[in-house]
């Protein structure tokens, strides 16, 4: 079996941080290429992925054909360059371990941030528990006030009955006063007429008419 070594340069405005190396590694594994590695390179402000593959000629050619047609969804590729390569290439298993280490190093700061966020959340939860207790206490006090108001409200029917009794007594008293007024008025009129007659007689005797 003929062995073929190749170096591929993939350049463009966006070829980093889009999962390019992992897609390339998956394609190499699918073609049973045992020696493979890929690295992100910054070249004069241009993003570049350098790929190295070492395997059977047919497998490497199939891999190169896939590289030209398959790319990450969010990538923006300008050019592919394929060159022969004479140097050593890392075993694909070792490269996979390297990628895992790189990703772990990227993940550690994120994990630390998550830890800090969790600590802050715990503090917020503790504060919320205190607020809930205060609200619950206020709710209990409000319930007690409602119970007191309800208890006072229960006496309203008795008050209504008392008011009815007072009104009944008042009406009876008014009736009595009215009757007394009717009894007094006839006698008062007769007495007044008698007084008027006596005054008139006195005036006649005194010649004051």
DSSP letter (8 states) at residue 2? -
Report the number of secondary-structure helices (H) and strands (E) in the chain: 4, 4
Could you read off the pLDDT of 29-38 as tens digits, one per residue?
999 999 999 9
State the pLDDT at residue 164.
79
State the pLDDT at residue 185.
59
Length of the chain, please? Answer: 209
Q: What is the DSSP string of 155-172?
A: THHHHHHHHHHHHHHHHH
| Calpha distance 31→41 (Å, rounded) | 25
Sign of CA dihedral 90, 93, 94, 95: positive
State the pLDDT at residue 186.
61
The answer, as to whether pTM is greater than 0.75, is no
What is the signed CA dihedral for 150, 154, 160, 162, rounded to 10 degrees?
Answer: -130
Locus of tokens 């802050």 = 120
Positions in the chain short of pLDDT 70: 152-160, 162, 166, 170, 173, 177, 179-192, 195, 207-209
| Nearest residue to 67 via CA among 121, 117, 10, 119 | 10
State the pLDDT at residue 166.
62
What is the signed CA dihedral for 87, 88, 92, 96, rounded to 10 degrees?
Answer: -90
Bridge partners, residue 81, by sequence: 9
């Amino acid at each position: 079996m003929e062995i073929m070594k190749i170096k591929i340069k993939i350049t463009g405005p966006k070829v980093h941080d889009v999962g390019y190396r992992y897609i390339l590694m998956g394609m190499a594994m699918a073609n049973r290429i045992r020696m493979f590695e890929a690295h992100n390179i910054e070249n004069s402000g241009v993003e570049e992925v350098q790929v190295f593959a070492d395997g059977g000629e047919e497998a490497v050619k199939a891999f190169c054909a896939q590289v030209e047609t398959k790319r990450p969804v969010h990538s923006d590729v300008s050019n592919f360059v394929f060159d022969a390569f004479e140097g050593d290439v890392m075993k694909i298993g070792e490269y996979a371990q390297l990628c895992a280490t790189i990703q772990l190093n990227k993940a550690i700061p994120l994990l630390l941030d998550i830890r800090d966020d969790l600590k802050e959340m715990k503090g917020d939860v503790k504060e919320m528990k205190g607020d809930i207790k205060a609200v619950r206490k206020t709710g209990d006090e409000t319930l007690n006030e409602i119970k007191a108001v309800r208890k006072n409200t229960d006496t309203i029917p008795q008050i209504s009955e008392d008011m009815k009794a007072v009104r009944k007594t008042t009406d009876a008293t008014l009736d009595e006063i009215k009757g007394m007024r009717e009894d007094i008025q006839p006698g008062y009129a007769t007495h007044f007429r008698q007084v008027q007659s006596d005054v008139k007689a006195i005036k006649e005797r005194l010649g004051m008419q």
